[in-house]
Structures are given as structure tokens and as C-alpha cells.
Amino acid sequence: MATGGVKKGPWSEQEDEQLLSYISKYGHGHWEAMARKAGLNRTGKSCRLRWLNHLRPGVRRGNITLQEQLIILQLHSRWGNRWAKIAECLPGRSDNEIKNYWRTRVQKQAKQLRCDVNSHQFIEIVQHVWMPQLAERVQTQCKSSPTITQELECCETSSISCGKLSNDSSNTHSDAAPLSIPCQLSDPSSSHAYNNDSNRHVSDAADSDPAWRLGAGLEADTYQMNVEKETISCEDYCPWSEQGLEVDKSQELLETAAWYDHDYCYSLENLLNDDDMMILCQQFLFDDHRA
């Protein structure tokens, strides 16, 4: 729709002010008309993008937190490249930002492992190595912060526990392994973490499920390299890249993922419907952002 003479490129401070001023008076929507009426020599699309990604209230910029990273990985494994949908679960984040995160960080990891980001191999690694490790780190972070710990307990006793949702969503995996959302990744032996009947199978699953054992750090001898190092960045964590893995170690990860027994793999897709997923993520993140 761009026509000749329409300005492109970075927005100036004055343009931002013009857009903000117009929206504060008349609200947003009807972007093409708005661009004209606000005296902006921009396309409606450009105005919309600027508003959504930078100017709207509550927009969050900067480092993607560990929790957000985990949720992005989780939701991407469920929804694929549906950035806008994923962004709905991350308050204040734009689809553009999530997309950029995926392209710059996640694809970089795939490159390091010498596999395609969309390959089955890489997806396996993300689901069974990266996400459990990330979840564990988030939980460690939560436990080290009293404020977050309080919220964690609040989260655990709330109605969004894994078992309740899995019952409500009529899935058939009554002995499903815990979700990879950190607030549910408490020690499986801890009774207060899963205190209703529907969760009584969790401990059983924890004993036998390699994914759960991995997430809980019980495969310490195999993955000790991942938990020993204390200097792992909290901003952009990845089990293998942070360790500076050599090629043979990367291969080890690939083999580990290949070894994984799918009978034990209960993805969120099997546990939750889309609405439950949204609620779960938003509640989790809302608690986090209050801290």
C-alpha cells in the first residue's frame, strides 16, 4: 500500500509524539486514516507496528527472562511460528520481539549443534534437554528469591496445577509427567507441590520418566556438566552453548535425544487446550512481573 513519498526507516521522536498525541485523543484503529489525520507521512501499517512494538502502554523491552525463554520454547513446540499467538502469552512482549529472539538465539543454538532449527533432532533436544534444564534453572532462581518463592507456593496451591488442568481438559494421560512450567517443577517427592488426588501419579512418573528425572536434575552424572557451572547467564541460557560444548558433546546430545522413549513423553499439547495454556502462562508471568 506504500506509495511514493511515504517516509520509511527509523521513527523520529517527533513522529512518535505525533502518533501518541493522536492516539491519546482519538484512540487507535483505522491506521491508514490515522496516519493521514495525524499528519504522519507514514503508512498505516508502519504506524500500527510502531504503536504495538514501542509506544503502547505496558510494552516491555530488553532482555527476555528465563521464564519467558522457557515459555517461548514451550509454546513454539506447540504452535510453531505463530508469533502473535505466542506473544499473547507473554504480557508486554510483541510478536516481533519473540520472533527476533527465536531467530537470533534459538537458531544460533541449532547452528551450533549443526542441525536445522526445524529438524526433528533439534526439536527433540529442545524438548528433552534444553527445556528441562531451563526449567530447573528457573526454579533454582525462584527458590533463591523469597519473593518469588512465595509466589511459587501461591502458584502451586492455585487451581492451575498440572493434575487439575489435565483432568479438566479430558486428556487420557492420567499419569502424565509434570508440565515444564517452572512453578510446577517442584521436587516430585514434595507432598505440598501436588496435593490433590489427581496428582498422586506424579511421583510414579517422576521415578520412571527420564524427562522428569532430567528436569529434576536426577540425571546428575550424565548432565553434571550442565549444573556444575555457576556462571551461566540468566539472560540467555542454553545447556550446551553455555558449556562451550565441543562437537562430540553436541553429538552426545543428539544421541540422547534420539534415545528418548516417546512413551514417556507427554507434551503440553496432550495435556492442555489452547485456552488453558493461555491462562497458565499469563498467570505465571503476571506473578513473575509483580516481583
Q: Which residues bind DNA (CB under 7 A)?
A: 1-2, 7-11, 29-34, 42-46, 48-50, 53-54, 61-63, 81-85, 95-97, 99-101, 103-105, 108, 236
Q: Is 189 exposed, middle or buried (0-12, 13-18, 19+ CB in 10 A)?
A: exposed
Q: Which is nearer to DNA, 95 or 209 (CB)?
A: 95
Supply 272's cell numbers.
492442555
Backbone angles phi and psi of 184, in degrees to 5: -100, 0
Q: Which is nearer to DNA, 83 or 284 (CB)?
A: 83
What is the C-alpha separation between 101 and 116, in angstroms, rounded? 17
| Minimum distance, C-beta of residue 95 to DNA, in the bound complex (Å) | 5
| Minimum distance, C-beta of residue 273 to DNA, in the bound complex (Å) | 18
| Minimum distance, C-beta of residue 37 to DNA, in the bound complex (Å) | 11
CA of 184: how far to CAs of 27, 59, 136, 215, in Å? 40, 27, 11, 11
Q: Which is nearer to DNA, 33 or 234 (CB)?
A: 33
Write the CB contacts of 98 (distance below 8 Å, at least 6 apart in sequence). Answer: 72, 83, 86, 87, 90
Backbone angles phi and psi of 88, in degrees to 5: -60, -25
Q: Which is nearer to DNA, 47 or 142 (CB)?
A: 47
| Minimum distance, C-beta of residue 1 to DNA, in the bound complex (Å) | 6
Q: Which is nearer to DNA, 76 or 128 (CB)?
A: 76
DSSP 283: H
